[in-house]
Structure 1
Amino acid sequence: MRDFELQELTIEPKRGKALIIFFAVVFLLLVVKLWSLQIIQGEQLSEVALNQRTRVVPLLAPRGIIYDRNGIPLVSNRLAFTVSILPDVAAQVRKSPEEVKLLSELLEISEEKILAALSPSRKDRLGYEPFRILEDAGADKALRIYEQGWRLPGVIVEKVPVRHYVYDNFASHMLGHVGMISIDELRNWSELGYGANHKVGKYGLERYYEFELKGQDGAFEIEIDAKQMPVKELSRKNPTRGNDLILTMDYSLQSIVENKLREKDLQIQKETGERLAGASVVVLDPRNGQVLALANYPDFNPNTYNQDFLEIGKDKRSPLLNRAIRGTYPAGSAFKPLVMVGALNEGLVNEKTIFYDAPYPYGYGGWDPESKKRCVYGPHGHIDLLRGLQVSCNIPFYVMGRELGIDRLSEYARLFGFGEKTGIDLYPEEASGLIPDRDWKRDSFKKGEDKIWYPVETLDVAIGQGAMKVTPLQMAVFFSILANEGDVYQPYLVKEIRDSSGEVVCQFEPQIKRTIKLSPKTISILKEALEKVTIPGGTAARAFADFPLKVAGKTGSAEVPGKESHAWFVGYLPADKPELVIAVLVEHGG
């Protein structure tokens, strides 16, 4: 065996000193770095570490409740289970066919729908929000997710408030409905606290008062483990419900109106096999402009609107049309009181003025040469002003319309609210309607001869025909002015807004847009004539036979080329001290 000699290891002094300096510098740098991490950045890094094991989950606020004038809840909220995926786990789930398949089986929805909900290219959500997979999942599906949670890290079940319309179709055009926030709405409202998972008002009062009904969202913070499974709740800020609306609408009166419309539909089905084409009823308080009832038929169920949308779209009767404010129709003979008011106010006629309704072929009184049918109420021969309105004879109104001329006639129509929006607090915005006149015709047609206003067109307007278009709400406002003797009230549906604790935050008072100066004599003659319409000898006598209160009003038939005429009745009661104004329109009601 060889012997190895142990040699003494020696290091030159200069080299040893350099190594000592090198290791000292390295040590000093490590000390500085540790000091920076622990002292300077310690709080920040601690927060980062905490964030990696905590998640903040938003808590959506319930919307405000909508009540009728007597405190009956019409729209409220119910809690529903919603299945969501935390945003930092979404990519992992998306890339896991096994997890997507399991979710599909548990929730009974397609894998395609799940992948679409998890798409990173979605523009309808904000980055920090959970990905909603299934809303209103039901208790059974929520329980399945809880039971299989260990296989689905990052998948959570939330309890979310869902809008509930207490009486389904009741007042659907008035109350409206909600839907998922659109991309445009999210872009415009994100600074107001809206996120991609919010449902917002889309129609009716829900939309018009969106910012009042929306509450303040809360959130809760949870700790999660390395597998993204919830461990415990760390903190919670509860949401605050939105403001409540107290309506002017009366539940009982609205119910009566809607039931009558459904009864009419059933009657038509039984007699003809057809359906009611469409109808609208508006009830106002002429003393203040409050809307007591507003009903349209057909209607829809806001609770199932999203599921029913395609079927609703197939119904040619347009169930989503709010006929009361957006349906426009010729006023027919229900417009004649305005012509009478104008002629009386201008001193062109009085209660003793006599008109002559000549029989055909000397005149058109009592005979329609096109249909070869004799009218029920004519010819009338010599007839006075009051009798002319009672039996709705056209001749007196042709004469008064001719004497007024289209300029004064259209001016009176606009004075009484036709051709302009009433200002009611509903969405979508109401129609203005149309009062035709010289300016309208000149601006609406291209050919020179078509721009000319002809005298016969004035006669059409005088009996509510021709190009004239009005809404049922405008007709109700018109008769409110007659009932209260000149005040033009702005109709409104919400009388109070209260916060979640019941405190009144806003109270709406009646608004008079203008007052029309009518002579006491004009008012007296007009009211007497309107009362005659509903008593024996009047066009509405049969409808009000044995009615317990005195009613004043006017019927109307608005001609529709090639179809049955629309039927109108507009009036007020009690006739001697009006408290209610009602406008009824039945499309193609004859």
Structure 2
Amino acid sequence: MPQPIRIKDHERDARLVRKRVVVGAVAIVSLIGVLIARLYFLQVIQYDYHSTLSENNRVHVQPIPPSRGLIYDRNGVIIADNRPSFSLTMTRERSGKDWLQLLDVIVEVLALSPDDRRLFEKRMRQGRRPFEPVPILFELSEEQIALIAVNQFRLPGVEVIAQLVRHYPQGEHFAHSVGYVGRINEAELKKLDPINYSGTHHIGKTGIERFYEPELHGSVGYEEVETNARGRISRVLKRTDPQPGKDIHLSMDIGLQQAAEAALAGKRGAIVALDPANGDVLAMVSLPSFDPNLFVTGIGLSAYAELRDSIDRPLFNRVLRGLYPPGSTIKPAVAAAGLDAGVVTGDTRVFDPGYFQLPNYDHKYRNWNRTGDGWVNLEMAIMRSNDTYFYELAHRLGVDRLGLYLGRFGIGQKVSLDMFEESPGLMPSREWKRARYRQAWYPGETLILGIGQGYMQTTPLQLAQVAALIANKGKWNRPHLAKDIDGVAPQDLVRPPELQLPSPMADIQLRDPKSWQQVSNGMQQVMHGARGTARKVGESAVYRIAGKSGTAQVVAIKQGEKYDRSKVQERHRDHALFIAFAPADNPKIAVAVMIENGESGSGVAAPIVKKVMDAWLLGPDGQLKPEFRSPADVSGKPMSAQP
């Protein structure tokens, strides 16, 4: 049956449409109200905040690292400078999400090795500041720069920048004194001023470069730059120039340094030359050495392993860190102690049968001359390096007074002004042995201290200072490498409390000032006396030298046995040492030489000392330079021939 046709209710449909229109209009008005409210909140209430964000996205403050101060020798010869270099940098925040993949692209473009890839990743993972470009590859070639430019579209956040990089034109000559700079590591980054070191990627690691880092670094500058959406700089809005680091003039002389290295060539050892009048370090050699340029932009693993694992230890600073028994070079200081303490005089004589025995003991402490020297006084004891005399002298002094006097000469403490790597060495005492070995001090240990053996450990710098103190009659001048920093003496620098220079040492005041001359006379007889241990070296000198040889045992020899070099491995043979100053009546240079396993202080070390002194004191005519002469000099006549 057909369904009835429904008649459309127009009135109801109209009411429904009107309802929907009203609801829609209300919804639209509400949404517009919300939008207007949001716009009001963002553009009116938070105007300052969002305008700052917008400006920061457009304007960036970039640090301008200062140029590092230069280092010169005393004559103005460049030792450390800065040279332009192109480096590849990467900013992680601008390189996209997968910056590790970007490193793979760099390696591919430049055809680098997997080791380079690992090194890049290590540098990128090191601590840094946001949006700071990190140098990952240094000293780019023109070909590498071109490859980066061609592939720039594949390398977001990667740029080639020009910067100044430290360079050491003298290579190995000053590696252990000037030191080198290297990349800032994470531990250093936490300690450094984050503002002043913004944009700086290198810091002094050793030597002068490290000690005077605050002066050499300078102060950072800034520039406000406008960037586009890709982070590229479109213009510079404002610039504050950095303050460059201060230049340093060293007290060292490159000519004397090279002469000292030539004299020591082929040997493992150290040379220190000082000016007794003011503490200037004239030369400082530790051989073998190394090229500090290798460390500036990052040394390769294989190259570093070769230096680190070398049996000759080229990275080891023998002048400051090498610890050696001083041997007989300490005897002049022991003699000065004995004279001042009153336990001996210049005329006190000791009989030497070739050995010394403590009362009620059978053990014989041998003199190097097994047949003995008979009756010897102080001057002869120094000239002959008579062990028996100094056994007796040390026994009379006792370990407490001996340690007190030698401490005043700098033994067992740091003596330098500006060499942070210096070791204090060791001046043993009763308390030290009790704490170290839980044992009492034995009388025989005092005896061997008197000849520079036993527990005593010294650095070549300390021995040079002993010679300088005797030459200067006890006046203390701390050895220093820097002569002036932008015209200011190191002692006058204004530095933070934690970086203050060491305080001055007290001068050694002997009760009778003539004692210094007595010690000096004995040292002169070493070089110029008829029985002096180094008379063969002194014979050819045109100036008078005061010196003292030393031979330090590396391995012990049993009681009654005699040293036989043929039975001892080369690296177990005795060390050769020598200290000296000259001219004896007007000292201008004090020198200490240490040769590892050199065996003979007089035969091996003394000739090297004379070569160093000749290079400093003599002019082209083979005579003393005019500024080093005194009225007592006899021009053209060997000083050994003078009375």
TM-score computed with the length of structure 1 as normaliser = 0.84
Residues 135, 58 of structure 1: alpha-carbon distance in 2 compared, 3 angstrom cutoff: farther
Distance between the aligned counterparts of 1:245 and 1:414, measured in 2? 32
**Is 1:249 aligned to residue 237 of structure 2?**
no
In structure 2, give the amino acid aligned to 1:178.
V
Aligned partner of 1:469 in structure 2 is 457
Tell me the matched-pair count: 556
Could you say what the CA RMSD is over the residues aligned between the two structures, in angstroms?
3.6
Q: In the alignment, what sits opposite 2:89?
A: 84
Q: Distance in 2 between matches of 1:370 and 1:137?
A: 65
Shift of residue 164, structure 1, vs aligned partner: 0.7
Query: Is the 8 Å Cα contact of residues 482 and 490 (structure 2) preserved in structure 1?
Result: no
Q: 1:19 to 1:348 in 2, by over 3 A?
A: closer
Name the CA shift for 1:193/1:383 in 2 (closer, same or farther; >3 Å). Answer: same
Paired with 2:74 and 2:526, the residues of 1 have a C-alpha distance of 32
Which range moved further: 323-332 or 44-53?
44-53
Could you say which residue in structure 2 is the equivalent of 1:142? Answer: 145
Give me the whole-angstrom Cα distance separating, in 1, the residues matched to 2:592 and 2:336. Answer: 19
Q: Partner of 1:395 in structure 2? A: 388
Give yes or no for the alignment of 1:589 onto 2:598.
Answer: yes
| 8 Å CA contact retained: 1:117, 1:131 | no
**2:513 aligns to what?**
520
- Residues 212-231 of structure 1: matches in 2 within 5 Å? 212-219=215-222, 225-226=228-229, 228=230, 230=232
Q: Give the match for residue 303 of structure 1.
A: 293
Matches within 5 A, 1:297-376: 297-305=287-295, 306-307=299-300, 308-358=303-353
Contact 1:222 1:230 in 2 (8 A): no
Could you tell me how far apart the structure 2 residues matched to 1:146 and 1:504 are?
48
The Cα shift of 1:439 comes to 2.1
Helix, strand or coil: the match of 1:76? strand
CA separation of 1:12 and 1:113: change in aligned 2, threshold 3 A: same
- Separation of aligned partners in 1, 2:523 and 2:111: 63
Aligned to 1:560: 554
Q: Does 1:160 align with 2:163?
A: yes
| Structure 2 counterpart of 1:273 | none
Counterpart in the other structure of 1:580: 589
Indicate the residue corresponding to 1:270 in structure 2. Answer: none
Deviations 1:40-85 (A, max 9, x none): 5456434534544566554433222112223322111112111122
Q: Is the 8 A contact 2:356 2:388 kept in 1?
A: no
Higher strand share: 1
CA distance in structure 2 between the partners assigned to 1:505 and 1:9 by the alignment: 100
Q: 1:383 aligns with which of 373, 376, 385?
A: 376
Q: Deviations over 1:162-193 (max 9, x none)?
A: 11112111211111112221211112225353
Q: Which residue of 1 aligns with 2:635?
A: none
Q: List per-residue Cα deviations over 1:188-237 (Å, max 9, x = no partner).
A: 225353358621111111111222222333455655555x3736333455
- Consecutive unaligned residues in structure 2, runs of 5 or more: 1-7, 359-363, 494-500, 556-567, 600-643
Moved more, 63-72 or 170-179: 63-72
* Residues 518-542 of structure 1, C-alpha deviations (whole Å, 9 max, x = no match): 2133122111111111115311222
| Alignment-derived partner of residue 271 in structure 1 | none
1:539-558 equivalence runs, <5 A? 539-558=533-552
The whole-number CA distance in structure 2 between the counterparts of 1:107 and 1:120 is 18
Provide Cα deviations, 1:274-297, integer angstroms capped at 9, x if missing partner: xx2x21111112122222221111
Tell me what 1:485 maps to: 473
Q: Which amino acid aligns with 1:281?
A: I
Contact kept, 8 Å, 2:575 with 2:594, in 1: the verdict is: yes
Counterpart residue type for residue 570 of structure 1: I
Q: Which residue of 1 aligns with 2:611?
A: none
Which moves more between the two structures, 198-207 or 511-520? 511-520
**5 Å matches for 1:14-413?**
30-42=35-47, 44-52=49-57, 58-92=63-97, 94=99, 96=101, 100-110=103-113, 113-114=116-117, 117=120, 122-191=125-194, 193-194=196-197, 198-219=201-222, 225-226=228-229, 228=230, 230=232, 232-235=234-237, 236-262=239-265, 265=266, 276=267, 278-305=268-295, 306-307=299-300, 308-358=303-353, 379-413=372-406
Residue 632 of structure 2: aligned partner? none
| CA contact 1:61–1:161 (8 Å) conserved in 2 | no
Deviations 1:71-100 (A, max 9, x none): 32211111211112223233445375xx54
CA distance, structure 2, for counterparts of residue 237 and residue 106 of structure 1: 37
**Contact 2:350 2:375 (C-alpha < 8 Å) held by counterparts:** yes
CA-CA distance at 1:454 after TM superposition: 2.4
What residue number does 2:434 align with?
Answer: 442
Which has the higher mean CA deviation after the structures are superposed, 103-112 or 525-534? 103-112
Give 1:432 deviation, angstroms: 1.7
Do the aligned partners of residues 20 and 504 (structure 1) sit closer, same or farther apart at CA in structure 2, a change above 3 Å counting?
A: farther
Q: Which amino acid aligns with 1:556?
A: G
Task: State which drifts further: 183-192 or 167-176.
Answer: 183-192
Q: Structure 1 residues 180, 195: CA separation in 2 closer, same or farther (over 3 Å shift)?
A: farther
Instruction: Please give the per-residue CA displacement for 1:453-496, whole angstroms capped at 9, x wherever unaligned.
Output: 22222221111111111111111111221111122222222232
Aligned equivalents of 2:290, 2:195: Cα separation in 1? 30
> 1:191 & 1:85 partners in 2: Cα distance?
20
Q: Which amino acid aligns with 2:341?
A: E
- Asked if the contact 1:66–1:246 (Cα under 8 Å) also holds between the matched residues in 2, the reply is yes
Mapped to 2, the partners of 1:525 and 1:376 lie a distance apart of: 23
Q: What displacement does 1:587 show?
A: 0.9
Task: Indicate if the aligned counterparts of 1:435 and 1:468 stay in contact, CA closer than 8 A.
Answer: yes
Distance 1:337 1:570 in 2: 10
Question: CA separation in 1, counterparts of 2:56 and 2:200?
Answer: 23
Deviates most, 235-244 or 206-215: 235-244
Report percent identity of matched pairs: 33
Q: What residue in structure 2 maps to residue 530 of structure 1?
A: 523
In the alignment, structure 1 segments of 5+ residues that lack a partner are 266-275, 364-368
Determine helix, strand or coil for the equivalent of 1:232: strand
Following the alignment from structure 1 to structure 2, what is the Cα–Cα distance between the partners of residues 536 and 167?
A: 41
Letter in 1 for 2:330: F
Cα pair distance change 1:377/1:512, threshold 3 Å: farther
Against the structure 1 CA distance between its residues 197 and 63, is the aligned structure 2 distance closer, same or farther, given a 3 Å change threshold?
closer
**1:306-350 CA-partner distances (Å, limit 9, x unpaired):** 233211111122212211121111111111112211222233333
TM-score, with structure 2 as normaliser:
0.77
1:456 — aligned with what? 444
Q: Distance in 2 between matches of 1:462 and 1:327?
A: 21
Output the CA distance in 1 between the equivalents of 2:403 and 2:86: 57
Letter in 2 for 1:230: R
Cα deviation digits, residues 506-527 of structure 1 (max 9, x gap): 8469974112222133122111
CA distance in structure 1 between the partners assigned to 2:467 and 2:541 by the alignment? 20
